[in-house]
Each structure stands twice: as C-alpha cells, then as structure tokens.
C-alpha cells in the first residue's frame, strides 16, 4: 500500500537523502502488507509468534556468556526448537552453517546432540571452539595458569588498527601487558587453557575501549573506563568461566565428550560428508552487518588478521552485505534467479534512477548476489538433510530504495525450488527499517522440511 508523503517539500534545509526519506511512499508502511502478493503466490500465511530469539539473555547462561555477541541466537530459542521436535528425532544431528559464536552447537552439546558448523571468520570459529572444547579443563589448572601470568613482557598493539584512538593510553598499556603475558605462556601450557585465557581477553576488549557495538562498532560518546579495567574484567571473566566449568563438570558430565566439529569454511562451497536431522541457522541479513569490520578489534589483537587487506579478503568471501567491495559485485555471475528477484531488481534500479543518487548504485546486484549466495549455501546442505529433517532459518526482511524485499519468503521459495516443503513461517519480532523508521519490518523463523 502506498501513502502520500507525510511532509511536503517546503524547505531547503534537508539533504537530498533526507528529502527522499521524507517523501518515501513507504512512510508508515508495513512489510506484512507488502508481502501479501508473495504470500498468495506461495499459498501460505505468516503465523504471529513473538519470541525472544536474540542473543542478549545469554549473558546469564553458562558457557554462552563467555563471549559477548550481538547477532546470535538466544540459547532459549535454540532449546525451544529442540523441544518442539523432541518426539520426532531421537539424538538429532545438528548443523549451523553460519556458526557465529556457536550458540547452536553449545546448546546442542548441552543436550548431548552431535553438531557441526561452518564459519568464515576465524575469530568467531575460535570463540565457538573455545566454548565447546574446554568442558573438561581442570578449573584448578586454569586458575593456576591465570594467576601465574607474567605481565612484565609487553607486546605492542596490532599496528594496522588505530589502537591509540580505540583505547585510553593507560588501558592500552595494560592490554599490551596482558597480551604479552598470554603470548609468553610457557610452551608446555595446556592449549585449551591458553584458548580460554585468550577468549577472556578477546571478550573484554570492546568493554574497555572507547567503542561500543550497537550492533555496529562505533565510538561511544560517554564512556569512562578505569585504567585497571582490563585486569578487573579479565579476572571476572576467568572466574565466570571457572564457575561455569564447575556446573558443566557436575551437571552435564555425560555430555562432555559429545562430538562437535566447526570447520573454517565457506558455507557456499563446503561439501558436507555428514547427514543432518536439523539445520538451525541465521545467515547475515541483507543490508545488515559486516561480520569482519565489527570484530576487527578482536581479530587484530588475537592475531587473526594483520592488515586491512586480510580483513577485506575474509569479508569478500562472506554472504554479501552492503559494505561489500564494488569489484566483487562487478564480477558477480549469478547461478540462480527467479521472477521475484528480477522484479525487485528492476524496481530498485528504477527508484535509484528516479532519486538520481543512492549510497550503492549497484544495489540491485547486491540484492541479487545475496539470494544467489543463499541459494549456493542451501543447495550444498539440502542433499545432506535426512528425510523428514528440517532446515530452520531466522532472517529479517529489508526495504531498499523504497522497494520491499521479502527475504524470508524468498528464502522459502529457494528452499521449495530445492525440494523442501514450506512448513511454516513465523513472525518472531517486529523491526524498524534503518532508512524509513516508520516502516515496519519483521524477523521471521522459516521452517522447511525435507
Ligand atoms: C547471524 S551470524 C550467526 C550467529 C549464530 N547463529 C550464533 O548464534 O552465534 C552469521 C554468521 O555467518 C558468518 N558467515 C557469513 N558468511 C559466511 C559464509 N559464506 N560461510 C560461513 N560463514 C559465514 C558470519 O561470520 C557470522 O558469524
């Protein structure tokens, strides 16, 4: 449904971009209404099922709380999926192709389920594995190694990052001491203990910086950090880990050896040799977050990247976001398209021409690449799903240059073209469009079945 603009153009004080936003026909619009023709074509309805799917409550959950993460699942959401299908699958084998910090795999292990994952960001793979592979670490040994850290040999902050802008001088000196202490741990130290200490270090970096993630990394205007915060927060994190390991070793001891495998791999290309009962995942959202730039501080300090070029190389392999390199889009050769994608592309093209200028003029191709990337991922996984198995995806839809993009319905359509049945699409949350704040978007849970 289109609406007349809310504000007539009477003033010269607005920028061209603001004028486009103010005069957008999508002001006060709603994705549910714009979805109607697509839903009709698929022959389905969207079910309203509000639920807490986001990572934030995990700050109170053992293991999950070891690393702060913004774009992950809540443990309770993953558990609710396991419970929903507990009568259908006995000991299901689980996959999350977009592992992130490993919420799905940690929750699977807490249930004794074998799980797998792929993840392209080496830092996130490291975080997921440190959370998954340390369950039998001796808490006494961890404390002993931690207490013996030698802070006298410092190691300089990563040179490609602007660390003197990210941290106060005193905090930076203290971080360089902690990094020095970790890098100089004796060679015979248990690797998994080193990983836990590195994980603790990575998890405090943004907290002690002048930055915040909300969800993108940016400067926090009013943030005062005590110079000793790195030591205090490290101490708290290590003690939190010890507390959680004690719980795991008493209450979940039977699952300590449950197998998990996370591969540093591109989900668009990785050929799985295992079969799965449930794939539970959340891909990057189109137009959304850059999973490399957002974690560049931790990637640099933990030696997972040593230059901007290395960061860019990881980013360009990912499912596309609108921060992608122009050259990558210029060279994009699609494997997949459909009539919806082509219509959406030409509407975006038309609107960009009408506006005269847009932040990415190659946006129609970025949108196309997003669905092409998702097709590549899904077509690698679907053959590995057992009969009656499920592919569950959480995604958000988008509004781009006044064109509604029904990401959830398009992903369901791709699933259908690969032979899956669309079992249900649930609306879990209402979101606001980044550009037109009055336009309501949704976050959906798509359940597809083989
Ligand atoms: C929304 S996050 C997943 C969060 C995860 N469900 C959790 O709860 O921790 C998406 C993840 O996909 C990863 N990613 C993006 N493109 C990828 C690709 N082509 N192959 C593998 N991982 C990719 C990103 O690095 C990011 O960690």
362 CB neighbour count, 10 Å cutoff? 18
Instruction: State whether the beta carbon of 319 lies less than 6 angstroms from ligand 1.
Output: yes
Residue ranges of alpha helices (H) inside 205-265 are 229-251
Tokens of 380: 């690698």
- Give the residue whose CA is nearest to atom 7 of ligand 1: 72
Instruction: State whether the beta carbon of 118 lies less than 6 angstroms from ligand 1.
Output: yes
Instruction: State whether the beta carbon of 105 lies less than 6 angstroms from ligand 1.
Output: no
Ligand 1 atom closest to 103 (CA):
8
Strands (E), 197-341: 211-213, 217-219, 260-264, 276-281
Q: Which residues contact 90 (CB under 8 A, 6 or more apart)?
A: none
Instruction: State whether the beta carbon of 267 lies less than 6 angstroms from ligand 1.
Output: yes
For residue 306, the model assigns a pLDDT of 96
Tell me how far apart the alpha carbons of residues 434 and 288 are, in angstroms, rounded to a whole number: 10
Assess contact for 322 and 143: CB atoms under 8 A. Answer: no
Is residue 180 within a helix (H) or strand (E), and if so which, with residue range? helix 169-183
Instruction: State whether the beta carbon of 397 lies less than 6 angstroms from ligand 1.
Output: no
Instruction: State whether the beta carbon of 117 lies less than 6 angstroms from ligand 1.
Output: no
Instruction: State whether the beta carbon of 258 lies less than 6 angstroms from ligand 1.
Output: no
Q: What is the 99 CA–ligand 1 centroid distance (Å)? A: 5
Backbone phi, then psi, for 422, in 5-degree steps?
A: -80, 110
Instruction: State whether the beta carbon of 78 lies less than 6 angstroms from ligand 1.
Output: no
- Give the residue whose CA is nearest to atom 3 of ligand 1: 100
**Tally of helices (H runs) and strands (E runs) in the chain:** 17, 12
Instruction: State whether the beta carbon of 68 lies less than 6 angstroms from ligand 1.
Output: no
Backbone phi, then psi, for 211, in 5-degree steps?
A: -105, 170
- Give the residue whose CA is nearest to atom 13 of ligand 1: 98
Q: Which of 119, 77, 116 is nearest to 98 (CA)?
A: 119
* Residues in a beta bridge with 385: 276
Tell me how far apart the alpha carbons of residues 60 and 50 are, in angstroms, rounded to a whole number: 21
Is residue 300 within a helix (H) or strand (E), and if so which, with residue range? helix 296-301
Instruction: State whether the beta carbon of 290 lies less than 6 angstroms from ligand 1.
Output: no
Q: Which residues contact 429 (CB under 8 A, 6 or more apart)?
A: 50, 51, 53, 54, 442, 443
Tell me how far apart the alpha carbons of residues 235 and 228 are, in angstroms, rounded to a whole number: 11
Placement of tokens 């699933």 in the chain: 415
For residue 376, the model assigns a pLDDT of 98
- Give the residue whose CA is nearest to atom 27 of ligand 1: 100
ω into residue 215 within 30 of 0, thus cis? yes
Q: What is the 81 CA–ligand 1 centroid distance (Å)? A: 19
- The SS3 call for residue 120 is coil
Ligand 1 atom closest to 285 (CA):
1
- Rounded to two decimals, the pTM is 0.94
Instruction: State whether the beta carbon of 58 lies less than 6 angstroms from ligand 1.
Output: no
Per-residue pLDDT of the chain (450 residues; tens, 9 = 90+): 334 444 455 555 777 777 777 778 889 899 999 999 999 999 999 999 988 888 778 888 899 999 988 788 899 999 999 999 999 999 999 999 999 999 999 999 999 999 999 999 999 999 999 999 999 999 999 999 999 999 999 999 999 999 999 999 999 999 999 999 999 999 999 999 999 999 999 999 999 999 998 878 889 988 899 999 999 999 999 999 999 999 999 999 999 999 999 999 999 999 999 999 999 999 998 877 788 999 999 999 999 999 999 999 999 999 998 788 899 999 999 999 999 999 999 999 999 999 888 889 999 999 999 999 999 999 999 999 999 999 999 999 999 999 999 999 999 999 999 999 999 999 999 988 888 889 999 999 999 999
Q: Which residues contact 50 (CB under 8 A, 6 or more apart)?
A: 427, 428, 429
Tell me how far apart the alpha carbons of residues 266 and 226 are, in angstroms, rounded to a whole number: 40
Tell me how far apart the alpha carbons of residues 65 and 44 are, in angstroms, rounded to a whole number: 38
Q: What is the 314 CA–ligand 1 centroid distance (Å)? A: 12
Tokens of 308: 């901007």
Out of 61, 70, 94, 98, mutate this one to test ligand 1's pocket (max ligand atoms within 8 Å of CB): namely 98
Out of 106, 123, 289, 291, mutate this one to test ligand 1's pocket (max ligand atoms within 8 Å of CB): namely 291
Instruction: State whether the beta carbon of 288 lies less than 6 angstroms from ligand 1.
Output: no
- The SS3 call for residue 410 is helix
Tell me how far apart the alpha carbons of residues 396 and 48 are, in angstroms, rounded to a whole number: 14
């Amino acid at each position: 449904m289109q609406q007349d603009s809310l504000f007539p153009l009477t003033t010269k004080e607005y920028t061209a971009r603001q004028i486009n936003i103010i005069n957008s026909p999508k002001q006060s619009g709603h994705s549910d209404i714009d979805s109607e023709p697509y839903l009709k074509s698929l022959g389905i309805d969207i079910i309203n099922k509000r639920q807490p799917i986001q990572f934030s409550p995990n700050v109170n959950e053992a293991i999950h709380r070891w690393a702060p993460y913004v774009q992950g699942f809540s443990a309770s959401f993953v558990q609710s999926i396991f419970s929903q299908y507990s009568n259908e699958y006995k000991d299901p084998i689980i996959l999350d192709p977009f592992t992130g910090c490993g919420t799905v795999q940690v929750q699977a292990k807490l249930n004794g389920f074998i799980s797998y994952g792929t993840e392209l960001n080496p830092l996130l793979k490291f975080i997921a594995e440190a959370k998954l592979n340390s369950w039998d670490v001796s808490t006494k040994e961890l404390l002993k190694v931690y207490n013996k850290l030698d802070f006298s040999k410092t190691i300089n902050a990563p040179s490609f990052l602007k660390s003197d802008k990210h941290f106060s001088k005193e905090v930076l000196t203290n971080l360089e001491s902690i990094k020095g202490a970790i890098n100089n741990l004796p060679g015979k130290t248990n690797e998994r203990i080193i990983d836990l200490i590195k994980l603790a270090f990575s998890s405090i970096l943004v907290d002690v910086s002048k930055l915040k993630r909300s969800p993108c990394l940016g400067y926090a205007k009013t943030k005062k950090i005590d110079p000793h915060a790195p030591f205090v927060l490290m101490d708290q994190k290590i003690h939190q880990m010890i507390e959680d390991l004690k719980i795991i070793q008493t209450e979940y001891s039977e699952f300590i050896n449950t197998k998990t495998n996370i591969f540093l791999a591109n989900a668009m290309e990785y050929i799985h040799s295992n079969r799965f009962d449930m794939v539970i995942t959340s891909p990057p959202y189109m137009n959304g977050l850059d999973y490399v730039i957002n974690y560049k501080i931790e990637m640099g300090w933990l030696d997972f990247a040593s230059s901007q070029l290395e960061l860019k190389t990881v980013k360009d392999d990912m499912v596309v976001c609108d921060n992608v390199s122009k050259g990558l889009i210029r060279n994009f050769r699609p494997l997949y398209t459909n009539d919806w994608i082509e219509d959406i592309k030409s509407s975006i093209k038309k609107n960009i021409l009408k506006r005269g200028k847009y932040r990415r003029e190659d946006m129609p191709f970025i949108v196309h690449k997003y669905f092409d990337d998702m097709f590549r991922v899904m077509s690698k996984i679907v053959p590995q799903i057992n009969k009656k198995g499920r592919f569950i995806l959480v995604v958000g839809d988008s509004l781009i240059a006044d064109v509604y993009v029904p990401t959830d319905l398009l992903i369901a359509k791709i699933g259908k073209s690969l032979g899956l049945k669309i079992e249900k699409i649930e609306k879990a949350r209402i979101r606001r469009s980044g550009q037109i704040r009055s336009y309501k978007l949704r976050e959906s849970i798509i359940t597809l079945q083989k």
